[in-house]
Every structure is written in structure tokens, then in C-alpha cells.
Amino acid sequence: MASVALSEAEKVYIVHGVQEDLRVDGRGCEDYRCVEVETDVVSNTSGSARVKLGHTDILVGVKAEMGTPKLEKPNEGYLEFFVDCSANATPEFEGRGGDDLGTEIANTLYRIFNNKSSIDLKSLCISPREHCWILYVDVLLLECGGNLFDTICIAVKAALFNTRIPRVRVLEDEEGSKDIELSDDPYDCIRLSVENVPCIVTLCKIGYRHVVDATLQEEACSLASLLVSVTSKGVVTCMRKVGKGSLDPESIFEMMETGKRVGKVLHASLQSVLHKEESLGPKRQKVGFLG
């Protein structure tokens, strides 16, 4: 993961500021930076989104393709995640430098979406055991500037909100053979409900306190972080501890409570922005991911 080298004096300055609830950029411990969200930025996808959070820049594209349901879940579609760590994001990703991080992020996304409440996978089934929609979610890291997991989750949720899947009908003839008819109308499509899709809130332990939306400099001062996956109702769906340091049970409980509180506000803000952008329709000014 992208990292930055700090002197001991800089670390002391950051740590002491956090203890006083005053961070280097003037935020409090539970404040996010301004998040820029733009959907429908890649033309040849079923849904896409670009999210910028500080110096972290993420592009997500969703492609819906027809396939066969998994044997253990014959009446459900499914999601496949692929994460590409661009060498432009940080020099550390050159060659195969970003492969491990890409696998780690993809596994975290699988874990978040591996429950029935995140997305209604049954709505992706066309005919049980035979045909279903598979959503290929491609995540591209354009720039890394701290708080990677939160930004990726916001981008994935925004891209799934923007996803439009063509409506299909299964026609059966007299002999029992099935034909699939795809609707010609581009507006005749199904949309996914993303209301229960969780977002990750990363809490970095710095000194005796913890902060959300840490910058690269703050991450360099933290030995342990807690990734908390929270729904819009404040329900924690999974947790993961990262970093070399340890966390005591009391700290974990406090970080979970902060994660729930901050997560609910994050979801409400994101949902509001997504609906507002969609309500503008074709009138909205498109910047595009190369804008």
C-alpha cells in the first residue's frame, strides 16, 4: 500500500494534535474530507462511478453478462470483483507490486457482499440452474492518498446504484426448449437496490484516540486500524483488523461505536448525492474520469 516517510518530530506533531481532537488539516477525529462522486462516467459499462477522497482517486465499472448460476445457489446471480492497482497510482505498484493489495481488496469486497442482505441476488436470476446475470465489478486505483478501503466501497456502491441491467423474458415453446428475449428498449431495465449495501469505515488508532478518513501521513503514525463494514441502519456486518499493532477490547468497542455513528451519516450523504445527481438527468454536466 502507498506509504509516506515522516520524521519523528512530524509524527509527534500529528499524534499530539489527534489527542486534542485537532488534526493537521483542521478536521476533528470523526470528520471525513470532501468526497467527490460522479456516476455514469464510462460509456461501455452497465454502470460506473468515479470517487475522489483527498488524494485517493478510484474508478469502478460494472459489466452485466449472462452466465450459469453456481451449483450451490441455483436461483441466484453473483458478483465477481477484480482490482487493478495502476502503476500511476504510486511507484510501489510497478511490475507486480500492486498484486497483493489488489487481491486483499477483492477478498474484502467478497466478504462484504457474501451475505443475502447486501444485494438481492435472486433478482439477478433469469431461469434457475440455467441462466443468471453475473456482475463483473472492476475497480481501478488511479491515485492512492490514504483511506483506500472507504473510498473503494463508496465507489462500488455508487457504481451499483448506477447499474442498469437489460430486462429479459424467457420464452418456452411447445417442445419445452427455452429462448431468451432481450428487450430492445434501453430504458426497459432493472435496477439494483443498494440500500443495504454496506460501506467500510476505517478507524486508525493514533495514540490513545482513533480517527476516520486518515491521510497517508496519519496512517504512517498508526500501528493498527479497524475496518468496520456498516449498513445505512448502523448494523455492523463484518470487521477486520489491519496493521502490526494490537488493539485492546475497550478500544475495539469504542471504534465499533464510532464506525456505526459515522457510517450512518456517510450512507445518508452518499444516498442524497446519488439521488440528486440522477434527478438532473441528461442536463447534468459530465466531467468524465479523464476530466
Residue 234: enclosing H or E segment and its boundaries?
none
Listed in sequence order, the residues at least 6 apart from 91 whose beta carbon sits closer than 8 Å to its beta carbon are: none
8 A C-beta contact, residue 229 and residue 112:
yes
- Residue ranges and CATH numbers for the domains of the chain are 8-280 (3.30.230.70)
Q: What is the pLDDT of residue 16?
A: 93
Q: What is the DSSP string of the chain?
A: -------HHHHHHHHHHHHTT--TTS--TTPPPPEEEEES--TTSSEEEEEEETTEEEEEEEEEEEE---TT-TT--EEEEEEEE-TTT-GGGTTTTTHHHHHHHHHHHHHHH-STTTS-GGGGEEETTTEEEEEEEEEEEEE--S-HHHHHHHHHHHHHHH-EEE-EEEEE-TTS-EEEEE-S-TT-EEE---TT--EEEEEEEETTEEEES--HHHHHT-SEEEEEEE-TTS-EEEEEEESSS---HHHHHHHHHHHHHHHHHHHHHHHHHHHHHHHHGGGSPP--TT-
Per-residue pLDDT tens, the chain, 291 aa: give them.
Answer: 566 788 889 899 999 999 999 999 899 999 999 999 999 898 889 999 999 998 899 999 999 999 999 999 999 999 999 998 877 777 777 767 678 888 999 999 999 988 778 899 998 988 889 889 999 999 999 988 889 999 999 999 999 999 999 888 877 776 667 777 777 777 778 899 999 999 999 999 999 999 999 998 999 999 899 999 999 999 999 999 998 989 999 999 999 999 999 999 999 999 999 998 888 776 666 665 555
Q: Rounded to the nearest 10 degrees, how much is the dihedral formed by the CA atoms of 272, 278, 281, 287?
A: 90
Q: Which of 39, 82, 63, 68 is nearest to 165 (CA)?
A: 63
What are phi and psi for residue 232, nearest 5 degrees?
-65, -20
Q: What is the pLDDT of residue 46?
A: 92
Beta pairing partners, 61: 48, 138
Cell 487481491 belongs to which residue?
103
Q: What is the pLDDT of residue 116?
A: 78
Q: Tell me how far apart the alpha carbons of residues 158 and 228 are, in angstroms, rounded to a whole number.
A: 19
Q: Tell me how far apart the alpha carbons of residues 221 and 217 are, in angstroms, rounded to a whole number.
A: 7
pTM beyond 0.75: the answer is yes
